[in-house]
Amino acid sequence: LAEGESGLEGSVEYAVDLFDRVTVESLAGRLVAVLEAVAADPEVRVGAVEVLTDAERVSVLERWAVGREPGVAAVTFHGLFEAAVDARPDAAAVVSGGLVLSYGQVEARANALAHWLTGRGVGPESVVALVLPRSVDIVIAQLAVLKAGGAYLPVDPEYPAERIAYMLEDARPVLVLRELPVLGEESVSRPAVVVEPQSPAYVIYTSGSTGRPKGVVVAHAGLAAFAAAEVERFAVDADSRVLQFASPSFDASVLELVMTFAAGAALVVPPAGPLAGEVLAEVLTAEEVTHALIPPAALASVPASAFPHFRSLIVGGDATSAELVDRWAPGRRMVNAYGPTESTVVATTSTPLTAGTGVPSMGTPIPGTRTYVLDAALRPVAPGVAGELYLAGAGLARGYLGRPGLTAERFVADPYGPAGSRMYRTGDVARWSRTGELEYLGRSDDQVKVR
């Protein structure tokens, strides 16, 4: 900078291997804006100077940040399944080895168990713990709890005994199922239980950044938009075969169930045990799986093969490398999905990935979701600038089970949404690209994932 006849004049030198011209011109423009604001009001705090242009503000708070209106009617978790029953009762709903259960058969079993549950005090706002592995039984049990009006708490029986004991003590469920009961003459008709959109559907325990497991209570309200987004963005239909990969204790299992039921597809339940490497490859091939959510670590372990039926791959739960995209994107739809448990599984997805495009972005918000990248004062940051990611919309969880203080700390008032709305502080650091996609940069705390 130097003083000239008309004031300060200057130029910017930059490394072309790190920055492009558009980015540098944008940074220079922000510097000019700050200098002009300070010159106009020497008492102003630099941190209070608005550096966003009007157009940028519209982009980061409206055009990019707000997923389109879902345009779908509210529906409960089990309502998705029941709609598929009504449409195609004889279609395969669950496949496990030689066992094939139709939607009508699963409906009858789930209804009977739901009546058994209501007879034992299960109803709205109650929690039922399901200490069951990935299986046909847990699918029936989950549907039964939902039909009875309750919320299911999945507990992986492979967890250490101390963790299971802690979860059950903390959640205080009205009932704990470690196996399906032997039923008598229970009705197979649908229970006449009214379930409101804000009623809890499930409770998922996650350690998060505190290190102490906490139960996230997720309502039915966000499932309609989530289901519509899955059908559209993952290209799932009634002929699809969706792999049950995730442990029921992870909310990725909810993605698998919702994707299946929303499209009237079939859920493929693999044999018990870890799914990776040659075992996973064999399941994908032998079971003719068409759709699966597979974390990057497991995906990297799968040996090369054609997988002719595997046409839609969702990756999530961790960062996906460019190498995985190069290997798996050709020949199928591959989508990167992002979302914490506190926002009904998925908040953003990428467009279908293509080889040679590098590390995938987090994409854009799904319908019904709002995404903000904010600074420490909860102000929107400019495109290309790092900030903390906040999520809002119908998919937000109700909060943490029995922890109002922690809920108030993480779920805060949304200053940019409708009156009375909330947003969730994810703790993830992100930025907007110039094309309106979110890019993941890391964590704002010291949280790490250990696998």
pLDDT band at 195; cut points 50, 70, 90: very high
pLDDT(218) > 90 = yes
Cα gap 34→36, rounded to integer Å: 5
Percent over 90 (pLDDT), the chain: 79
Q: Which pLDDT score, from 0 to 100, does residue 347 have?
A: 97
pLDDT(416) > 70 = yes
- pLDDT per residue over 160-185, tens digit each? 999 999 999 999 999 999 999 999 89
The first and second tokens of residue 202, run together, are 């499930």
Query: Would strands 348-349 and 312-315 be described as parallel, antiparallel, or unpaired?
Result: unpaired
The winner for highest mean pLDDT among 1-10, 39-48, 205-214, 282-291 is 282-291
Cα gap 349→260, rounded to integer Å: 18
> Exposed e or buried b for every residue in 329-345, given b needs 16+ CB within 10 A?
beebbbbbbbbbbbbbb
pLDDT(366) > 70 = yes
The first and second tokens of residue 118, run together, are 């209501």
- pLDDT per residue over 243-273, tens digit each? 999 999 999 999 999 999 999 999 999 998 8
Cα gap 24→21, rounded to integer Å: 5
pLDDT(448) > 60 = no
Average pLDDT over residues 443-450: 63
- Written as one letter, the residue type at 22 is V
Q: Which pLDDT score, from 0 to 100, does residue 244 have?
A: 97
> What contacts 165, CB < 8 A, 6 or more positions away?
none
Average pLDDT over residues 219-234: 94
Q: What is the CATH number of domain 77-368?
A: 3.40.50.12780
pLDDT(209) > 70 = no
Q: Which residue, among 353, 345, 335, 386, has the nearest Cα to 369 in the 3D structure?
A: 345
The first and second tokens of residue 147, run together, are 């039909």
Q: Which pLDDT score, from 0 to 100, does residue 184 have?
A: 86
Cα gap 321→306, rounded to integer Å: 21
Average pLDDT over residues 360-379: 96
> What contacts 288, CB < 8 A, 6 or more positions away?
241, 309
Q: Which pLDDT score, from 0 to 100, does residue 210 have?
A: 55
Q: If you average pLDDT over every residue of the chain, what do you get?
A: 93
pLDDT band at 53; cut points 50, 70, 90: confident
CB half-sphere exposure, 158, CA atoms < 13 A: 8
pLDDT(14) > 70 = yes
CB atoms within 10 A of CB 279: 15
Q: Which pLDDT score, from 0 to 100, does residue 444 have?
A: 85
Q: What are the sequence ranges of the domains in the chain?
A: 13-51, 77-368
pLDDT(450) > 50 = no
> What contacts 443, CB < 8 A, 6 or more positions away?
209, 427, 428, 429
- Written as one letter, the residue type at 339 is G
pLDDT band at 333; cut points 50, 70, 90: very high
Residue 176 phi/psi, 5-degree rounding, is -125, 120
Q: Which pLDDT score, from 0 to 100, does residue 451 have?
A: 43
DSSP 8-state class, residue 372: E
227 membership: H or E segment, kind and range = helix 223-233
Cα gap 333→314, rounded to integer Å: 8
